[in-house]
Amino acid sequence: MNDSKMSEAVMDGPENSGEKHKTVTPRIYVASLADYTAGRLLGRWIDASQSAKAIDEEIAALLAASPEPFAEEWAIHDYEGFGSYRLSESSPVDDVAEMVALAAERGPVVFELLARGHDLAEARKMMDDCYRGAYASHAECVEESIEDCFSDALNELPGFVRYHIDYAAIAHDFECSGDQFTIECDGMVHVFDNT
């Protein structure tokens, strides 16, 4: 793999807390179904961060290289760099290219929205209309919001009250009430408002 297509990131989770790892550029392994049916493996890894047209051209070149006379069908047999989102063997190239472009623009949290069952249009709308940002914790987002909205009222509170507000409990209430939800991705907590 080309190291220029990789970037440093921090994984989150108890099993690898703080551990550095390489984030892989999304790519798909496309196989010729005619060759697969004939008992041969003919396929290649294709960079999914390029345009749908470029991906289609690579697939066409793969099928043209087949010794099978009618190699026209293909399938995605493997993939990487899509977070917890699961591509199907028949995922349309246009959709693959669009989701990767959106993730390049807005971050890998897009793949996690898709993994939760949202389609591309919903994921784009949620990133545009509902996304509050990435934080170290949900409580950090709540604290920022409360300080932005109620700074005058907070400044009038005595310090022993103001500096003991339980932002984590408020964040918990926001999630339990359905006002907000979070996605943990890339070592950060991504906060969304429910609409």
The answer, yes or no, to whether residue 78 has pLDDT greater than 80, is yes
Average pLDDT over the chain, rounded to an integer: 88
Can you give the pLDDT at residue 24? 75
Q: Are 59 and 151 contained in the same domain?
A: no
Q: Do you know the residue count of the chain?
A: 195
Count CB atoms within 10 A of the CB of residue 84.
12
- Predicted confidence (pLDDT) per residue in 14-24, tens digit: 333 344 445 67
Q: Are 24 and 119 contained in the same domain?
A: yes
- Predicted confidence (pLDDT) per residue in 24-67, tens digit: 799 999 999 999 999 999 999 999 999 999 999 999 999 999 99
Q: Are 122 and 33 contained in the same domain?
A: yes
The whole-angstrom separation of Cα 148 and Cα 146 is: 5
Domain span holding position 184: 132-193
Domain final residue pick, 72, 92, 127: 127
Please give the residue that has the higher pLDDT: either 89 or 2: 89
> Which residues, at least 6 apart from 189, have a Cβ–Cβ distance to it below 8 Å?
134, 135, 136, 137, 138, 140, 141, 182, 183
Task: Name residue, tokens 């006379």.
Answer: 69
Share of the chain above pLDDT 90, in %: 77
If one counts the domains in the chain, the total is: 2
State the CATH number of the domain containing residue 157: 1.10.10
**What global pTM score does this model have?**
0.79
Q: Are 81 and 140 contained in the same domain?
A: no
Distances (CA, A) of 144 to 23, 135, 156: 29, 10, 17
Write out the H or E segment, with its range, that includes residue 149. helix 138-149
Average pLDDT over every residue of 92-118? 95
Can you give the pLDDT at residue 158? 85
In DSSP notation, 80-114 reads ESSTT----TT--HHHHHHHHHHHHHH-THHHHHH
Can you give the pLDDT at residue 63? 97
